[in-house]
Structure 1
């Protein structure tokens, strides 16, 4: 039996795109960015886990005596006053986005290990070959589902009024675009792995039936 069908080879190729897009978008601080043409913008860019400000006044200080400048991890414990504005930096919709996209990221990472096993080690003669393909497909479809929830939440609320300053000058960044591409590719890759599992199941059934017919014909001739 041929180890992989065309669907399996395409699934691996699409999965590589999924892995790159999800990994980069998970780490990159460019889900929301300020228009670079606005020289006095307070926000520079932000991602799931880090924020870059040009000059953000402490939203809890009505006298604006403290400003935050530069890029920081959202859970930075060293910058004075940063923990005091964490509620502003992480509203409930942002926490939900982090949660669902982290699920997507973890599923893709686990799937990456299994895809390597599928590509390098396992073949149709292995006992759990089809089960492996189905698990990969399930992980990727779940990754697409959870990642889809994350990007929908952020697209709906990430640039809304009442959160980042100068909302009219901000727009969804390239890292968010990669997240959307990664989610779509996860669905496509997962679907291709489903097709691959069906193909391999039919091949296995056909091979078993062929062997049975051969044995019966051999016994009849004998």
Structure 2
């Protein structure tokens, strides 16, 4: 029996794309960016876990005496006043985006281990070969759905008026684009691995039937 079909080989290739794009989208701060041509823009860019401001006035200070400049981790404990505006930086939809995209990343990382086993160690003669392939497919399906929810929520609410300053001059950045590609790649990869599991199941059944026929013919000749 051949180790992998075309669906399995394509699934590995698409999985590499999913792993790279999801990891980069998770860690890079360009989900929402300001138009670089606008000189007076207060927002530079922001990601899931960090924000970069050119000059953001403290939204809780009505006298505008404190401004935040530069890039910071959203849970930065060292910058004075930054913890007080965390509710402004992380509204409900942003927390939902973080949560679902983190689930997506976790699913991809778990799948990485299983894909390596499928690619390097496992063969059709092993009892759990099909179980591993099917597990990869379902885990990536859950990861893809979680990633899709994250990017849909952010696309719907991340660039609306009333949150980040200079709303008309902001746009969804390349990190968001990678998140979209990663979620789609996870769903495609899931379909390919579930197809591979179906193919391998049929191969195994045909192999068992051919063995049974061979044994019956051998017994009849004996």
Q: Under TM normalisation by the shorter chain, which class is it?
A: over 0.9
Report the counterpart of residue 219 of structure 1 in structure 2: 219
Deviation of 1:40 after TM superposition, in Å, equals: 1.2
Report the counterpart of residue 15 of structure 1 in structure 2: 15
3-state SS, counterpart of residue 68 of structure 2:
strand
| In structure 2, distance between residues paired with 1:7 and 1:99 | 31
| In structure 2, distance between residues paired with 1:129 and 1:69 | 53
Deviation of 1:89 after TM superposition, in Å, equals: 0.2
| In structure 2, distance between residues paired with 1:31 and 1:123 | 41
Report the counterpart of residue 34 of structure 2 in structure 1: 34
Alignment of 1:78-93 (within 5 A): 78-93=78-93
Report the counterpart of residue 44 of structure 1 in structure 2: 44
| In structure 2, distance between residues paired with 1:24 and 1:126 | 35
Report the counterpart of residue 177 of structure 2 in structure 1: 177
Report the counterpart of residue 119 of structure 2 in structure 1: 119
Deviation of 1:69 after TM superposition, in Å, equals: 0.4
Report the counterpart of residue 158 of structure 1 in structure 2: 158
Q: With structure 1 as the length reference, what TM-score do the two structures score? A: 0.99
3-state SS, counterpart of residue 33 of structure 1:
strand
| In structure 1, distance between residues paired with 2:197 and 2:134 | 6
Report the counterpart of residue 133 of structure 1 in structure 2: 133
What RMSD over aligned residues (CA atoms) do the two structures have, in Å? 0.4
Provide Cα deviations, 1:118-138, integer angstroms capped at 9, x if missing partner.
000000011100000011000
| In structure 1, distance between residues paired with 2:188 and 2:92 | 30
Alignment of 1:203-218 (within 5 A): 203-218=203-218
Deviation of 1:35 after TM superposition, in Å, equals: 0.2
| In structure 2, distance between residues paired with 1:117 and 1:204 | 19
| In structure 2, distance between residues paired with 1:177 and 1:15 | 17
| In structure 2, distance between residues paired with 1:18 and 1:56 | 34
Alignment of 1:97-116 (within 5 A): 97-116=97-116
Unaligned runs of 5+ in 2: none
Deviation of 1:30 after TM superposition, in Å, equals: 0.2
